[in-house]
Amino acid sequence: MNEGYALSIDQGTTGSTVLIFDHEGQVRSRAYSEFTQHYPKPGWVEHDAEEIVLVTFKVIAEAIRNSDIRASDIQAIGITNQRETVVLWDRKTGRSVAHAIVWQDRRTARYCDQLKEQGHEEMFRRKTGLVIDPYFSGTKVKRRTCTRRCSWPSTATPRPSRSSSSPADSGAAMTSRPSSCSPRFARTRARPRS
């Protein structure tokens, strides 16, 4: 009896890996492809989210093709991602509005220092459970929305043919309502500098 297969997507920092497992946990197929790393300024790291989507679909198709199974035989899909990498999506088109800011990116270091200097560390830790650091998504989202006037978090809005994630993961200052921010965080006077 065929008990189906599981497809696992590891969407990493440098590429996408797909594994297909049988019901005994044995790897039936593996596919991998890298995507472009962008370094527009020292300390900045970006990805083209549209390229990541295309690369991921490509390796899914390759893994299925190499496994000698049909896509309909897959009964479960799991995904890991880059965690604190930020992508802003257009609600209407489902496309990214700018390059993703990667978890390694340090462009908000000065902004984080400003927040600390203004005494926001304890409130930030109490509200989010996190320290103020450029690694986390909240300051990246704040910077992107201030400098590009993008809407966030449309990633919480289902997009056709794309996966979505919760804005409450660790968006730090963000609430679970799309395009909203904790009122206390919204009152902070520090504004990210370019």
- What's the pLDDT score for residue 159? 40
Per-residue pLDDT of the chain in tens (194 residues, 90 and over written 9): 467 999 999 999 999 999 999 999 999 999 999 999 999 999 999 999 999 999 999 999 999 999 989 999 999 999 998 889 999 888 899 899 999 999 999 999 999 999 999 999 999 999 999 999 999 998 898 877 665 544 444 333 334 344 444 333 444 444 334 444 454 544 554 444 44
> Which helix (H) or strand (E) is 101 found in, with range?
strand 100-101
3 state SS for 157-174: CCCCCCCCCCCCCCCCCE
- What's the pLDDT score for residue 188? 52
Q: Is 142 exposed, middle or buried (0-12, 13-18, 19+ CB in 10 A)?
A: buried
Structure pTM?
0.71
Q: How far is CA 54 from CA 10, 37, 43, 60, 183, in A?
A: 14, 15, 26, 10, 37
- What's the pLDDT score for residue 143? 72
Cα(101)–Cα(147) distance, integer angstroms: 13
- What's the pLDDT score for residue 67? 94
| Residue for token pair 């794309």 | 162
Write down all domains in the chain, each with its CATH number in brackets.
1-81 (3.30.420.40), 88-194 (no CATH)
Provide the token pair at 108.
């908000």
